[in-house]
Amino acid sequence: MTLLAPGMLWFGLLLAPLAAVYLLKVRPVRRPTATLFLWDTLLRETSSRTLLRRLRDLLSLLMMALAMTAVVGALARPVPAARQDRRDLVLLLDVSASMSSGPGRSRLDQAKAEARRIIRALDADRRASLATVAGELRTVVSRTADHRSLLDGLDAVACSTEPLDPAALQSLARNADLRRRCRVILLTDGCFEGAGAVEGIELLRLGAGSGNIGIAAADLLPAPDGLSMEVYVQVISSHDVPRDADLLICRDSPDRVVKVVPLQVRPGANPPQIIHVEPAGPGRWLVRLDPPDALDADNTAWLVAAEPRPIAAALAAARGGFFFEQCLQAFGQQRLLALSEAPELLITSALPVDADAAGRHVIFGPTGQSPFWEDLGPAASDAPARLRVADHPAVRFCDLEAVPFVGQRRLKPPDGSVVIADSLDGVPLVYEAFVSDRRAIVVNLDPQAADLPLSVEFPILIHQMARHVTGAPEAPPAALPAGRPWRAGSSGALRIRTPSGRRIEAAPGESPRLNELGFHDVDGPRGRESVAVSLLSPVDSLPADPAVRSTAGPIRRGWSARSLLAAGALVIVAVECMLYHRRKVG
């Protein structure tokens, strides 16, 4: 047995005056009387009960002494030697989006019920604190022995709409001082990346897996024709058998359904789909699953198609006027401007040495002399393109194998060039060249002979090349995952209005975290724009890995020795009071 407050044992000296009260006899008072025979009878009856009275007084003394000993023992705060782990508790509740999953009672409700049982069963010597974790760590109730405040704080805990960020757990695990003083117990469903053992954190897994279909990934991109939209969607399912569902593509609000796509969703991650939607244009879009299921947060993806920034371009055709007319039309469809005054970009088939156009060029069918190629030779045999740089921005979203590279010529790119695609014979077909402060994308084919303007890949190709070579910023992401910081890239202050009407003020250069699902209105130096926040978390849409098991050790529960001693003292005093009352009344 270990005493946490041994100094309180000095209160045991109070037993001496208590014993004195019972053992010291009071001298009887002498009073004169007129007759003696009445007192003789009373004295004989009293003397016959003296032994019983003495035993009764001794029992009362023992009971009061025992009660006082119990009180002194409780003040000394004894702890059994077999329970030396006296570290305080940190109850950490996972409030990520997956914890709102049903059906019936949600996983968060189950976690709160378990936390409530732990708090109510803690002894009076144990302090605890309450915290939540999703995208970040948040303290709800600081370390305290007041279990009532812990329970009140637990009632106020609500589920978040963002995934659990493992970095928040790692930061807690790296706090060696906290781990030395406290036991950290995470109450979770195990649905987060790297949900194995986290050093210093005990895992208490709750909640069973439930059937759910959700949107794991979504994106959209205006098609090169400028009249339609390509919607990218990947659906994920935790069911054991295929299920039927409808994918609804909506404009501005869930009520304005533009297209309905029937799906047969197989278990696990389904292959992504690209859905062509027309008419289309910049603005707000929604992709949602019908019917809803266990987890509502992953049934809808909010998306925003941003208005592209125009690029000023000039056309310089040495030959092939029809081809460059198609270039002009492609720019018009993409809201890119074809201008001859102060252009950002020059599109040509033969570049004069003194051509400038801000030093940015896209060259189709190289001919003549140019600083962007050397040793221009005869025509090479036609051959399909072989991609050398995967996912290069100049050819992103373009299938180069579908582009007919007819009329290609042997040439040598200047030193420092990046060959994006070549033929099987090693002839550079698409490359990026740098000469001083000038930059060009060279496409080694004859656009007239290849009928390039008739290819469906042509508008995509010229759009991507123009944006890349001019350094035009990519369109902002169609959807921002919940809890991620939004980097507006603005030097001015931002005023953000969330879907629920809450207002967020962001200082210049600040990247606010947006964790509320839906469309956010942003006012800043660039005017008003929309930001779409969606869950898009495959980990939250699926049940946790069955291999993830609880690692939490036993938690000391029940009444403490101090509480038991105090309760025993109270019972003894209550019994003595009843006996005393019986003696007086009876």
pLDDT band at 129 (very low <50, low <70, confident <90, very high): very high
* Per-residue pLDDT at 419: 94
Q: What pLDDT is attached to residue 328?
A: 57
Give me the sign of the Cα torsion angle 229, 398, 268, 297. negative
Per-residue pLDDT of 444-463, as tens digits, reads 988 878 887 777 777 778 87
- Under CATH, what is the fold of the domain 213-308+536-541? Immunoglobulin-like (2.60.40)
Looking at the chain, the domain(s) classified CATH 3.40.50.410 span: 88-208
Question: Are the C-beta atoms of 236 and 538 separated by less than 8 Å?
Answer: yes
Please give the Cα distance from 183 to 85 (Å, whole number): 10
Q: What is the pLDDT of residue 80?
A: 61
Tell the CATH topology of 312-470.
Answer: Rossmann fold (3.40.50)
Q: What pTM does this model have?
A: 0.66
Are 223 and 397 spatial neighbours (Cβ–Cβ below 8 Å)? no
57-61, 447-451, 564-568, 578-582: which range is least confident on average? Answer: 578-582
pLDDT at 241: 92
pLDDT band, very low/low/confident/very high, at 317 (cuts 50, 70, 90): low
What value does the CA radius of gyration of the chain take, rounded to a whole number of Å? 41
pLDDT value, residue 380: 86
What local confidence, expressed as pLDDT, does residue 216 receive?
A: 93
Range 542-560 burial, b when 16+ CB lie within 10 A, else e: bbbeeebeeebeebbeeeb
461 phi and psi, to 5 degrees? -60, -50
Work out the average pLDDT over 239-268.
92
pLDDT of residue 413: 93
Look up residue 494 and give its DSSP letter.
E
Banded pLDDT at 196 (limits 50, 70, 90): low
Mean pLDDT, rounded, of the chain: 81
For residues 81-105, average pLDDT: 79
Q: How confident is the model at residue 353 (pLDDT cuts 50, 70, 90)?
A: very low
Q: What are φ and ψ of residue 515, in 5° steps? A: -125, 10
- On the question of pLDDT at 579 being above 80, the answer is no
What is the pLDDT, as a whole number, of residue 92? Answer: 93
Would the pLDDT of 335 be above 70? Answer: no
Give the pLDDT score at 289. Answer: 94
Residue ranges of the chain assigned to CATH 2.60.40.10: 213-308+536-541
51 pLDDT higher than 60 = no
Q: Residue 242: what pLDDT? A: 94
Q: 């069911």: which residue's tokens?
A: 239
Sequence ranges of the chain with CATH classification 3.40.50.880: 312-470
The residue-averaged pLDDT of 177-197 equals: 81
Alpha-carbon span 328 to 313, nearest angstrom: 9
DSSP-assigned letter for residue 121: H
State how far the Cα of 61 lies from the Cα of 70, in Å rounded to an integer.
14
Per cent of the chain over pLDDT 90 is 25
Confidence (pLDDT) at 45: 59
Residue 27: the pLDDT is: 64
Fold classification of 88-208 is Rossmann fold (3.40.50)
